[in-house]
Structure 1
C-alpha cells in the first residue's frame, strides 16, 4: 500500500512494503527518486536491516547456530504497520515475528519515521531491543536519485561533493565483500564528477567515524539537486547499477562482511550492540532543491 505525506513544497509517496520512499515530487512535477526500472534496479530507497551489505556466503553464526540471510537483510521485503500518521509525517513499525526469527534470533522493534519540514525530508530509523539478551545489528539507508534530474544534462555533468572537505579512508572491495586490508586515503576537497565506470567494481565506501556528514548531488547545468546530512554515521556509500541513470547516497551504521570474515555475528565489523530495553537511533535529512 502506498501512503502519502505532503506540504506546500513536496509530495512523498512511501510503500508500506519495506517502509520505502518511492517518489519525492516537487510542486513543478520533478521526481527526485529513482523510478525502480527493473532493467537496472527494481528498488527506490530501501531500508537496510538487520545487516548492511552482504554476509560471507550469505550466512552467519550466533550462539553456535548458523543462520542464512540475503544481502541488506529482510526489512526491505517485509510489510510494515503504520503506527502514526498525519498530513506531513508518518511512522512505520516492524516487529520480530516467527518469520524473522528463522533468520535473526532477536526480539526487535524497528520504527521508520518520515517528516516533511519545508523542502526537507527527515528520516529517523529507531531500533528497540525488546528481548532479554544483547542485540546485534546493523542498519542503513539506500536512497537512489535520478541522474540527470528533470532530464537536464548528462550523467557526467553531475557531481557529488562533501561539505566536510578533507581526506577520508576509502574501503575497497573484492566484490561483494570489503577488503579491510586495502584502505587508502582519498582527498575529497574537490567534487567528484559521476561516471558510470566508477561503479563497475561496486560501491565507493568511506569510513566516516561516527561524524555528521553532508553530501550534495548537483550539476552546473541545473538549479536542481539534493543534499543529504547524516548524523553520527559510521560509513558512507555511493553506488549505482551498471550504466543506470541514478546514483545512491547511502548512510550506513554497519558494513558488508570482509573477505576474511569468520562468520560470527559478534565479530562482524561495524556491528552495533544494545542491551535489553535499550534503543538506537540513526538519522538523516534529505534537502531537495
Structure 2
C-alpha cells in the first residue's frame, strides 16, 4: 500500500492493481467504497487492456484466439512504484509471460495519482515499446464513491448531475454486452439515485470526448464529490443490484464492451485504441471533493 497526502486529503493506493482504496479528507470523510465482499469487493479497479466483456470472453488477433475475462487483467496484477513524492505517486506495469498469454502485445502502463488542493488527479499513460507492431487496447476507470457522505443524508438523497446539461446517447446492455444497435437519445442532466436505477446493470452514455463533469451531491447538503474528464468517449454509471451497496461508480472509459454481434477481431472492436510503435497514449480524470 502506498499513501500520499496534502493539507486536505489523504489517498491510499494498493500496489495490487494500482487501485485507489481510500480517499479521505482531513475531517475524516471517506469518499471511497469500502469493498464489502458481500456486495462488491473492489474500490476503484483499473480496466485494461479491455473495458467490459468480450463476446464469449475471447478475441482473435492475427489468426490466433485469446481468452480474457471482463475488464482485463491489470486490476489483478502487481504494479511497481516508479516515482513517489509526498502528494503524488506513479505506478508502472509492463507486459510479462502471464499477460502475453492473454494479450500478445508489449506495453508499459503508468498510473499516476496526484493530490492538489481538494482534488485527486488520476493519469493513464500507455506506451507501445514495440519497434514494429501496433498496440490495440482499451482502458477505463471504475471508482466507487461511498454514499452517504454525511450523517444527515441517505443514499436516495443523492443526485448525479452532468455538466454540460444536454441530451446524450444511451447505450443499453444486452446481458454483459453493449447493444449499440439499440442506442437511444436521453436527457440525463440529473439522475436521482435509487438502487433500482441499476436493475439492468450499468447506465452507459456517450461523452464524445467533450469535457464533462459529473457531480454526486445530496439534496440535504453536506459533502459531495465530482469527477471531470476531458476526452473520454464513454462513461458508465453503476452500482450493485439486486444485492445492494451504498456506493455509486462514475466510470470514464476509453473503450466499451463488445456488441452482441461483434466479429471478435480485436482490430475491429468498437472503441479500441490503436497505438503505433513507440507511441504513447495519455489520458486521465480528476476527482474533486467538497
TM-score scaled by length of structure 1: 0.98
- Alignment-derived partner of residue 80 in structure 2: 81
Alignment map for 1:17-28 (pairs within 5 Å)? 17-28=16-27
Aligned residues: CA RMSD? 0.8
Displacement of 1:234: 0.6
Alignment map for 1:129-208 (pairs within 5 Å)? 129-131=128-130, 132-189=132-189, 191-208=190-207
Would you say the 8 A contact 2:255–2:273 is kept in 1? yes
Would you say the 8 A contact 2:54–2:69 is kept in 1? yes
Would you say the 8 A contact 2:150–2:222 is kept in 1? no
The reply on whether 1:279 has 2:258 as its aligned counterpart is no
* Number of equivalent positions: 287
Alignment map for 1:7-18 (pairs within 5 Å)? 7-18=6-17
- Alignment-derived partner of residue 116 in structure 1: 115
Deviations 1:99-137 (A, max 9, x none): 100000000000000000000001110000011201100
The reply on whether 1:218 has 2:217 as its aligned counterpart is yes
- Alignment-derived partner of residue 43 in structure 1: 42
More strand by share: 1
Displacement of 1:188: 2.5
Deviations 1:196-254 (A, max 9, x none): 11111110000111111110000121320001101211101100011211000000000
SS in 2 for 1:233: coil
- Alignment-derived partner of residue 104 in structure 1: 103
TM-score scaled by length of structure 2: 0.97
> Which portions of structure 1, spanning 4 or more consecutive aligned residues, are displaced by more than 2 angstroms?
none
CA distance 1:152–1:64, shift in 2 (3 Å)? farther
The reply on whether 1:249 has 2:237 as its aligned counterpart is no
CA–CA distance in 2 between the matches of 1:84 and 1:116?
14
